[in-house]
Structure 1
Amino acid sequence: MLAALRITGSILKLRIGFAVALAALAGMLASEGALSPLPAGVFLLAVLGASGAAGAFNHYWERESDRDMRRTRARPFASGRLKPGPVWPVTFAGLLLASLVMAWSVGGSLAAFWLFLGAITYGWVYTVWLKRRSVWNIVVGGASGSFAIVAGAAAVGGEMQATPVILALVMFFWTPPHFWSLAAAKGDDYRRSGVPMLPVIVSEAVWAPIILGHAALLLVLSLLPLATGMGPVYGIFALAGGGLFLWRSAQLWAAPSRQTAMANFRASLVQFALLVTGVYLDAAVRWAT
């Protein structure tokens, strides 16, 4: 039973799915409007399901190339624990459809549309079309997480508002340096697998300052919601997370190595965690007052 749960969690990429759901919740809380707890929970479950369907398709589509990377060769399809067959894509499509229906039932058609766009961007645009064809792979593919924030905002407000749109932009510009840092640390894996991530195809003299530039831009963008209604609690968390990522990116630029790249990758995760925590706490303060 435990082994089956582990395989399911791996196929659905639940760690990424939970992060996407947290992003959607941030979009909900940053908007003017609200859902009662039960519909909000149903919508977040729909986000998790749609993300899981896209992640599962990614596993299935890349089952051959995943064997070339140390960090992915143990995945269920790549390792052979699960055998390929048409039942899998049909199952993943069914999960996506069910998730979209759930999202539509509580959040409306616009929220369901943004959720669909996020899943298609990751599952098709990134995985099938761009990942092995262009250095822009993760730049375009990174939009999938941004759509989750916009979907959450649409579910509670029905129309686009400044703060969630800015947070979606933050997510969009956060994703490339996050994955570029990982690619810089695990470049051999990406080379063997034929994925043209930026640190794999250009020298550190090019990719290191690009990552640093993204980190600087992220810090500025993450503070813009202070001008659109977010309070000082959010500002403290955004400044702390963005400052840490910028500091680690500067260290990576000054001394590129696997160690500094992984430190920067971890710092990007901390920035994301602090940013969404700031949104949640800001909402709690607004509700308390």
Structure 2
Amino acid sequence: MRAAVSRLAPAKINLTLHVTGQREDGYHLLDSLVVFAEAGDLLTLRTGPGLSLDLIGPCAAALAPEPDNLVLRAARLTAAQGVAFTLDKQLPVASGMGGGSSDAAAALHLLAEARDLPLPGTEALMRLGADMPVCMAAPAPQRMRGLGERVDPVAGIPALWLLLVNPGQGLSTPAVFKAMTQRRNPAMPDALPDCPDAESLCAWLAGMRNDLQAPAIALMPQIEALLADIGAQNGCLLARMTGSGATCFGIFTDETAMRAAATALSAPGRFILPTRSLPSP
């Protein structure tokens, strides 16, 4: 590897997140429609002594005390040595956007391309987290099922103008799952619709759910107010929470409406990111 190489670790957005059951070992079964944003963290790989990770960027401080970042854990799966990573952390941690898993997936792809190291199998990926398989897939609409190990590309999903808003607080995923009162809910239909535009997709999404939204609101009531604020903006077609929260998103009719909403919703301590999702090929 003669020069530094970089890769975007895009934000992962759960347009739907249906919790369909719980196994005897406590792990939950999911059915989720996932898209990836054009924005996210940026991971750079260089030659260096041993295996190291430097953290920079506006959200790096939240990771600084963590000695075993997912990037390093992922790299150890490949027995990588002589590499130095720099993570420009743009996404808040514990925010429901799969940032850690997306960072780890970027590390594995960089190592595979720059060092010709093998990509780990699904079993090894799942030891790093349920979002790893979907983050390792192509950054296009995907359906993730089971514990997260079943990932299939989804056709017919257009690019979406997305406004991502986090109240400025992290939310523990295990705590949200623990707060659930109903753990066996209907899955999405076997066949997902082919939607030519954001309006038709949002009309269908309105009948779907994020089953973690209600327990997240029980733990952090300001999520409910944030969703109401997003949904009240001109041009907002749908407002929902992503993942286990606390980040919420609005899907807008066009870029102008999205950016106007970003200005209107700006407040001290809030994380706001106007972006666009990547469509189906």
Same fold flag (TM > 0.5): no
Structure number having the greater strand percentage: 2
The TM-score with structure 1 as length reference comes to 0.32
Higher relative contact order (CA 8 A, sep 6+): 2
TM-score relative to the length of structure 2: 0.33
Relative to total residues, which structure has the larger helix share, 1 or 2? Answer: 1
